[in-house]
Chains A and B, each alone.
Chain A
Amino acid sequence: MAGRVAIVGVGQTHHTSRRDDVNLPEMVGEAVRAALADAQLSKKDIEAFIFSNMESFEGLLLPDHGMITEVGATGKPGLKVTGGGTTGSEAVGEACNLVSAGLYDITMVVSWQKHDCGDATAGISAAAVPIAAKGLVVGAVSEFAKQALSYINQSGAREEHAAMVRLKADRCACRNPYAHLRLGLKGLDDYLQSGYLVWPIRMLDFCPQSCGACVVILASEERAKKIHKKPVWVVDFEVAHQEPFSAGSFGDPTGTETYSQDVAAARLYKRNGITDVRKQVDMAEIYEPSTWEEMSLYEHFHFCEKNEGWKLIEKGVTEIEGEFPVNPSGGVIASNPIGATPVLRIAEAALQIRGDAGEHQVTRDVKTAIATSLGGPNWTAMFLLKRSL
């Protein structure tokens, strides 16, 4: 990139299933104020805004326009990007571009979803055009059910491994005051009592629909060093999209296609000289819509060899105290305001690098972290963040 960019402020709301006490713009405003406070900046300092959200879930048009006052963007430049689940990452990417292009010194990414406005699963089902695929796509959940079946068949993972992923997420979420589902699950039995949503995905295997917002403030190198004593550097990012598959929407369940995760990871790691991820990177926040997907993603992001993702969870490698912590925030299975979910991954990774994650700060000293997202028909975005340049 032409100019270097750092994260100088992050803010998020408490994530929950329903927010009656605020309207949509007010909820987003909470995260804006939190991020401004974190960066010790005021509304005046923000030069441009990038908004990220999937408006179909709230049944809105131009949702950014409705919250201009509440996010402090009156009289400011900005625009809204959209897309699949990766939209938040792509918003952060574009906000970085605006800075490294030299157009602005300080930009803000505003991301949210307020799922109490409408049924997100129905919204995702509407990603199928009825004229081509009526009655075949049932939310994201049926697609991840197919993905889970493939993973089970190919890797030999068992239901107890999915349970381990779920229990890890819950232990982490219970240490993160902002997380949505903080269930206090005790063990395998709690997991097995959870009913099926779409076989073989249980209610507890899958991400919730959360109301929440996340805001990240980005600054140019010169300004970043003045604004925050611990700026987190956005060293690189990578995106790989893919067309809808003939067979499945989220990843190819047939195992015959290359995954966008493998492609994005290979490109990002090559550019940055990463050959051994678990050694050279200290932790990861990944977008895992289901327990099974988390294990599969370990493999696609090269945290381990193919078909060995479940062994990482079995050995406790990815726990908060583990050798390579993954999703110490509780991840997406615990909190999922979709438009904000990728931005939360980046914000949480930044907090870990700063050492400001509080109770869910990982044991390993985090100098380098990756934050990923997933969306559309298996789209991937990855960010590489570092403590020092």
Chain B
Amino acid sequence: MAQVTEKLEGMDVWVYHGQIYIPNTYSAGAVGSRFLIELRDNKKIMGTRCPTCNLVYVPARSVCKDCFGELSEWVEVSQKGTLLTYTVAYQSNPIQPVSTPIVYGIVQLDGADTGFVHMLGEVDPEKLKVGTKVKAVFKSKKERQGSILDIKYFKPLG
């Protein structure tokens, strides 16, 4: 990119338009990897259950937020669920996977005790309500890479 130094008008002050560019990579870990691989290979949405608190965490997590117990019991949950909240975001940023406006939502899947943070698609924002029933839409097998974006979005049922 162009890195430019520019003088402010009327004063001896310069501004340098530059960057910090260091690529970063984050490991998903054993639990996170298994969750993402199930999305990628089997189109399954998996959670983990805390036997002490009787809570099912989706996406699958390794630790219970309440009792600090380590979670090892895997459960598959429904691809359908209920919208807990949503927003239509109009501001663009370079990380967004699709162009704005983007509808973000938190969905509680049937069988899960937590919300799933993702996007909504094939939706008329005017008609969307908290409580709307939605279901997961996956990307095609070829497009799925083992990432949260292997789910394309959630769309309203019916």
Tell me if chains A and B make direct contact, with any CB pair below 8 A.
yes
* Interface residues, chain A, with chain B CB atoms under 8 Å away: 18-26, 29, 42-43, 58-59, 68-70, 72, 74, 116-119, 122-123, 126, 130-131
Chain A residues closer than 8 Å to B90, beta-carbon distance: none
Supposing A59-B22, A59-B24 touch, asked if A131 and B62 sit within 8 A by C-beta, the answer is no
Chain B: which residue is nearest A19 at the CB level?
Answer: B27
User: What is the CB-to-nearest-CB distance from B131 to chain A, in angstroms, rounded to a whole number?
Assistant: 27
Q: How far is the CA of A336 from the CA of B33 in the complex (A)?
A: 26
Supposing A119-B22, A126-B22 touch, asked if A69 and B28 sit within 8 A by C-beta, the answer is no
Identify which of residues 6-29 in chain B touch chain A, using a CB-to-CB cut-off of 8 Å.
Answer: 14, 16, 18, 20, 22-29
Chain B residues closer than 8 Å to A74, beta-carbon distance: 65-66
Chain A residues closer than 8 Å to B63, beta-carbon distance: 25-26, 29, 69-70, 72
Q: How far is the CA of A102 from the CA of B38 in the complex (A)?
A: 49
Verify B65–A21 contact, CB threshold 8 A.
no
Closest 10 CB pairs of A and B: A59-B24, A23-B29, A43-B68, A22-B29, A72-B68, A69-B65, A131-B16, A118-B24, A122-B22, A20-B27
Chain A residues closer than 8 Å to B26, beta-carbon distance: 23-24, 117
B111 beta carbon closer than 8 Å to chain A = no
Q: How far is the CA of A130 from the CA of B16 in the complex (A)?
A: 8
Verify A117–B25 contact, CB threshold 8 A.
yes
Number of A-B contacts (CB under 8 A): 63
A20-B27, A21-B30, A23-B32 known; 15 new pairs, CB 8 Å cut-off, are A18-B27, A22-B29, A23-B26, A23-B28, A26-B62, A69-B63, A69-B64, A70-B62, A72-B68, A74-B66, A118-B23, A118-B24, A118-B25, A119-B23, A131-B16
Q: How far is the CA of A25 from the CA of B22 in the complex (A)?
A: 21
Chain A: which residue is nearest B18 at the CB level?
Answer: A130
Q: How far is the CA of A339 from the CA of B24 in the complex (A)?
A: 17
Chain A residues closer than 8 Å to B23, beta-carbon distance: 118-119
Chain B residues closer than 8 Å to A58, beta-carbon distance: 24
- Residue among A26, A42, A74 with max Cβ neighbours from chain B (10 Å): A26
User: What is the CB-to-nearest-CB distance from B152 to chain A, in angstroms, rounded to a whole number?
Assistant: 24
Q: How far is the CA of A22 from the CA of B28 in the complex (A)?
A: 7
Which residue of B25, B30, B61, B65 contacts A116 across the interface (Cβ within 8 Å)?
A: B25
Chain A residues closer than 8 Å to B61, beta-carbon distance: 69
Chain A residues closer than 8 Å to B28, beta-carbon distance: 23
Chain B: which residue is nearest A22 at the CB level?
Answer: B29
Can you list 23 residue pairs at the A/B interface with Cβ under 8 Å?
Answer: A18-B27, A21-B30, A22-B27, A23-B29, A24-B26, A24-B27, A26-B29, A42-B68, A69-B61, A69-B63, A69-B64, A69-B65, A70-B63, A72-B63, A116-B25, A117-B25, A117-B26, A118-B25, A126-B22, A130-B16, A131-B5, A131-B14, A131-B18
B31 beta carbon closer than 8 Å to chain A = yes
User: What is the CB-to-nearest-CB distance from B5 to chain A, in angstroms, rounded to a whole number?
Assistant: 8
Supposing A70-B63, A74-B65 touch, asked if A123 and B22 sit within 8 A by C-beta, the answer is yes
User: What is the CB-to-nearest-CB distance from A118 to chain B, in angstroms, rounded to a whole number?
Assistant: 4
Verify A22–B30 contact, CB threshold 8 A.
yes
Verify B16–A118 contact, CB threshold 8 A.
no
Q: How far is the CA of A117 from the CA of B18 in the complex (A)?
A: 23
User: What is the CB-to-nearest-CB distance from B69 to chain A, in angstroms, rounded to a whole number?
Assistant: 10
**1/0 contact string of B17-57 vs chain A (CB within 8 Å):** 01010111111111111000000000000000000000000
Chain A residues closer than 8 Å to B30, beta-carbon distance: 21-22
Chain B residues closer than 8 Å to A19, beta-carbon distance: 27
User: What is the CB-to-nearest-CB distance from A32 to chain B, in angstroms, rounded to a whole number?
Assistant: 9
Chain B: which residue is nearest A126 at the CB level?
Answer: B20
- Residue among B14, B64, B66, B68 with max Cβ neighbours from chain A (10 Å): B68
User: What is the CB-to-nearest-CB distance from B94 to chain A, in angstroms, rounded to a whole number?
Assistant: 15
Chain A residues closer than 8 Å to B66, beta-carbon distance: 74
Q: How far is the CA of A20 from the CA of B28 in the complex (A)?
A: 7
Q: How far is the CA of A262 from the CA of B13 in the complex (A)?
A: 38
Chain A residues closer than 8 Å to B14, beta-carbon distance: 131
